[in-house]
Structure 1
Amino acid sequence: MKVLIFGATGMVGHGVLRECLRAADVEAVQTVGRTRTGQLDPRLTELVLPDLMDYREVESSLQGFDACFFCLGVSSAGMSEAAYTRVTYDLTLAAAQTLARLNPQMTFVYVSGASTDSSERGRSMWARVKGRTENALQRLPFKAVYLFRPGVIQPLYGARSKTRAYQLFYTAAKPFLSTLRALFPRQILSTEDIGIAMLAAARHGAPKAVLEVADIHALSREATAPATGLHVG
């Protein structure tokens, strides 16, 4: 399997990249972003682009991939709806429309968020924009599109949030998150859980297009369960 990752320097993307590089069936990983990840692996290549809205000059480097894990995202705090739409909807669709044309057999996995508004009419600005983005992605001619909606995430193995407020929260909550995730596994995910679940969706599909926290947890658990024939929830 050949995989593209957008946003590999962010918290979720870092975790997804780690799981891809640990997976025996992933033969090649290419990151796409404005900066390099700093990681070294013979299967890893990094495409650094100053403008993530324009892929015309690099289309040859974006062909032949089986899956794309789109982990780019920003906090809406302090942003107007127009500005947030540009970096959430416009940027995502610029990449996705290009990839759908170049790789029609690709599975596209998008990191959205818990409480995203699929109706696009709710009071929460960020939820409306995320909902609009999800809806547009589902209309593209990919082999499959899966929309991951995580909530609270435990960063593992060096993953860090680029949003200062989020990182302060994760730093303060670090002593408690492992315990809370063990107590409430269907409400709190780790970056490892998300990466494993994304790979599972790319390999075998998922039960539904929109995956909430409990669905992501179940997909991750099933992917790592011993081959006993028993369901693990």
Structure 2
Amino acid sequence: MAIFGASGMVGQGVLRACLQDQSIDEILLVVRTSLNTGHPKVREIVHTDFSDFTAVQGELEGLDACFFCLGISSSGHDEETYTRVTHDCTLAAARAVSAGNPTLTFTYVSGEGTDSTESGRSMWARVKGRTENELLAMPIHAYMFRPAYIQPRHGATSRTASYRLAYQLTSWLYPLLHRLAPGHTTTTEHLGRAMIAVVGLHGTGPSVLHSPEINRLGAP
């Protein structure tokens, strides 16, 4: 299986879950800069242009799953820039990994509030909605993950400085937040295990998963 965005907070959680899962023999990381994990399970493809994977297409064959965790915050970005990363790079990756893998399962980390109608006021929600819709229209087993609040676990950290600070200041509140709003909270640990779990569903079950489904599938 392949992971895109393994250096981000969610990707770190997914990678950890894959490393711990004894049924997974090889993990392919598609990265812009090597992570140098040194783990025997891990193989890397260092590739800088995430809008075009032609140069590495042959290395993406034989996959049964792709966990796409790459993304940026919409804060500080105009719609064109946000679309290029959130939509264009995601679809380029999905086309590349599915080309030689007809039974592939593709999981996409979207977010609660995503606008499937693509017509709402929120720019990020429209772009995410368009991305989801086009992935679901592809001839693959696609699952859209829409978590709300994600609590980092086991050292996972956000690459966005403001998010890192927010998590540092509020992490102690998570147990209370989870008790008050269990349907809107999850962890990087649950996300990782849930993504592995949907590979075994082979396209069955709901294609859009929110925090309650993520927590159920990702339970120990």
TM (normalized to structure 1)? 0.90
- Where does structure 1 lack aligned partners over 5 or more consecutive residues? 225-233
* Partner residue in 2 for 1:160: 157
Matches within 5 A, 1:141-180: 141-142=139-140, 144-180=141-177
**Shift, 1:182, TM fit:** 5.0
**2:123 is matched with which residue: 110, 122, 125?**
125
* Partner residue in 2 for 1:208: 206
Between the aligned partners of 1:38 and 1:114, the Cα distance in structure 2 is: 32
* Partner residue in 2 for 1:42: 40
* Partner residue in 2 for 1:99: 97
AA aligned to 2:182 is: P
Between the aligned partners of 2:180 and 2:23, the Cα distance in structure 1 is: 32
**Shift, 1:166, TM fit:** 1.3
Between the aligned partners of 1:164 and 1:120, the Cα distance in structure 2 is: 29
Between the aligned partners of 1:168 and 1:87, the Cα distance in structure 2 is: 24
Number of equivalenced pairs:
219
- Where does structure 2 lack aligned partners over 5 or more consecutive residues? none
Matches within 5 A, 1:110-121: 110-121=108-119
Residue 134 (str. 1) matches residue 135 (str. 2)? no
TM (normalized to structure 2)? 0.95
AA aligned to 2:149 is: V
Q: After TM superposition, what 4+ stretches of structure 1 lie above 6 angstroms from structure 2?
A: none
Between the aligned partners of 1:25 and 1:121, the Cα distance in structure 2 is: 42
RMSD, aligned CA: 1.3
AA aligned to 1:47 is: I
